[in-house]
Amino acid sequence: MSPRAPRSSPRVALRTAFSGLAILYLGLLAFTTYFPLSHVESLTTTAEASGLEPAWVASVIRCESRFREDVVSVAGAIGLMQIMPSTGDWIAEQLGDEIPSEARLFDPETNLAYGCWYLAHLGKRYEERHVVLWAYNAGPSRAEAWQEGEGAPFPETAAYVERIKRFLPIYRFAIRFPWIYRIAPSLPL
């Protein structure tokens, strides 16, 4: 006689299903917390209008501010895309906007518009994406020097470019399925 397999009770099946759902939810929560995403519609529209891939812009924002619109860096860069006030003034001038106050740079719409415009501007100036990122992170004059072989990028800048490369496929997924962030909202870190 062969041994009979133990019968599963409805309680065990329910507990197993609940445990699986809990683990899935915690995984989604970890994903959305480590890879935050907000302002998806505005980000997508603004990036595409500037000729940029939305996931690339999202990866830059992840590295710059972790999608915190109220953050100010030690150097004084403001908002989602960490725009320096002097750069914001210059961008506003180029766009024919009124010179923004620092408070306007905290506005996500303005910050995204200026940051995307600036990335697109740098993209026209430097064809290679990594050079664009060098310029965005460390400034155009340093990027040009590094491009011409005068020294190497700062370790922080090199790591910045690598993080954006790693985050790009993740944000391609996240932007394609933004509903994940409604189910499991990002937790502040």
What burial letters (b/e) apply to 106-128, b meaning 16+ CB within 10 Å? Answer: bbbebbbbbbbbbbbebbeebee
Give Cα separations from 18 to 4, 10, 132, 186 (angstroms): 26, 12, 47, 22
The per-residue DSSP string of 82-148 comes to TB-HHHHHHHHHHHTPPPPPHHHHTSHHHHHHHHHHHHHHHHHH-SSHHHHHHHHHH-HHHHHHHHT
Query: Does the active-site annotation cover 64?
Result: yes
The HSE-up count of residue 108 (CA atoms within 13 Å, CB side) is 15
**Is 160 buried (19+), middle (13-18) or exposed (0-12) by CB count in 10 A?**
buried
Give Cα separations from 147 to 124, 126, 131, 152 (angstroms): 15, 10, 7, 9
Of the candidates 64, 127, 128, 148, the residue annotated as catalytic is 64
Residues taking part in catalysis:
64
